[in-house]
Structure formats: C-alpha cells, structure tokens
Amino acid sequence: MAHRFTSRLQSRTPLLYAIVDASLVGGEEIVAVSERLVEAGVDLVQLRAKKVGSGTMLQWVRAMLPVCRAREVPLIVNDRVDVALVAGADGVHLGEDDLPPSAARRLLGPDVLVGWSTHGLRQVREAPSEADYLGLGAIHPTRTRRHSRVIGGEALTRAREATRLPIFAIGGLNAGNIAELGGLGLSGVAVASALLGGPSVESAVRDLRAALARWR
C-alpha cells in the first residue's frame, strides 16, 4: 500500500512543495505559518529544523498535522525518522547523512512518503528504490543551503531521462525564475525562501502558482 498522495506525484499538474525552514521562521510562528501556507494552497509541507531538538520538533509536527490533514496536504519531516514515526507524519525527506531510505521504510511502513535529496546525475541514477520522489538541486544559489553546489537547469533534463521517479527542483527558486523549468517533465518545485522571506505568504503562494500554471 502506498500513501494516498503518491498518485498526485505522478500527475502532470505541477505541485508546489513548501519547505518550512526553522532558520527562516521563528519557532513561535512555525504552526501559524504552516497553516497560512496550507490555506493559501500549497500541495505539500516539509518541516526542516536542522538545529532544533527532537522534543521541540515533535511538538511542532503534532501541532502542524491537524492543520495539514484538514486540507489533505501531506506533512513531511526533514531528516528525523524518529520524529516522523512518533508523530505519525505522512513521510520523511532524507539525504546522504541520514538514515537510509530502506531503514526508514522498514520503520515507517509502506504507506508513507519517502523523499531523497540528490545533487547530480549520478545520485539520481543511484536513487534508492524505496524513494517515492527526488529533490534535485541546487538549481540556483540558495539562502537556506549556502554551501550547496549549484547544478543549473540543464541537469534537470538529463535527470528526467535517468529516472522514472517524480522530481522536484529545489534551490533558489522563485516566481521569476521557475518559468525556465517548464516542459522538463518535473513534478514541481520545492521552495523555502521565496515563500517565507517576503511580507505575505499568501501573495508568495499566489505568484508561484501563477508561474507554475505557465508550465502547461
């Protein structure tokens, strides 16, 4: 059994994947910002909190879950399989330094989403079979991952030919530059700063949605 959202990952409608990064949002605002993103119309929400303890992260996930589930928006936990397991989150997003997707799948079961970060064509080709989707980037320089290698948009074309897994472009994406990614067969874009760095979450979602609509 797969997560009910899996089929949407394969759809032709581009998805907007919101990353709620604790380096951009104060802890007291995490839940409220997540609710605003969901109400504004994002398709997935990921909580990323690299420097936050497991107890605090667990509290945030538990508070965010009812908000997300009311709109059937999957809540994904970055890195922390233990937090996702205890909270009953919809999935995890993992990288090379995290628990392997095979182990995460054994712990979390078949009906969760497992995302996998990739940073080049080799990693795309070698993506674990347990992954439901890939994040690929950084496409452009990014505030949240300053040391990430920028691969550029051309790599996305080759990556799309190398795997059947859904791919989300990530890294420095905003309403002004995602138009260039249309027609590459991507499932969508994963965005943090462009959603959280401005005065209005709602207007940011609206602008990104309008840019994604031009992919068709």
| Mean pLDDT, rounded, for 93-98 | 95
Tokens standing for 174?
A: 């905003």
Identify whether the C-beta of residue 182 lies closer than 8 Å to the C-beta of residue 214. Answer: yes
Residue 42 belongs to a domain: yes
Residue 89 belongs to a domain: yes
Place of tokens 């059947």: 164
Residue 1 belongs to a domain: no
CATH code assigned at 107: 3.20.20.70
Residue 112 belongs to a domain: yes
Query: What pLDDT digit, counting tens, does each position of 102-143 carry?
Result: 999 999 999 999 999 999 999 999 999 999 999 999 998 876
* pLDDT band per the 50, 70, 90 thresholds, residue 150: confident
Residue by residue, DSSP assigns the chain as: ---TTHHHHTSSSPEEEEEEETTTS-GGGHHHHHHHHHHHT-SEEEEE-TTS-HHHHHHHHHHHHHHHHHTT--EEEES-HHHHHHHT-SEEEE-TTS--HHHHHHHH-TTSEEEEEE-SHHHHHT--TT-SEEEE--SS--SS-TTPPP--THHHHHHHHH-SS-EEEESS--TTTGGGGTTS---EEEESHHHHSSS-HHHHHHHHHHHHHTT-
Residue 37 belongs to a domain: yes
- Mean pLDDT, the chain, rounded, equals 93
| Mean pLDDT, rounded, for 22-40 | 95
Residue 201 belongs to a domain: yes
The number of domains in the chain is: 1
How far from the centroid of its chain's Cα atoms is residue 28's Cα?
22
If 0-12 CB within 10 Å is exposed, 13-18 middle and 19+ buried, where does residue 1 land? exposed
Residue 58 belongs to a domain: yes
* pLDDT band per the 50, 70, 90 thresholds, residue 147: low
Q: Around Cβ 202, how many Cβ atoms within 10 Å?
A: 12
Domain extent, residue 143, equals 6-213
pTM of this structure: 0.95
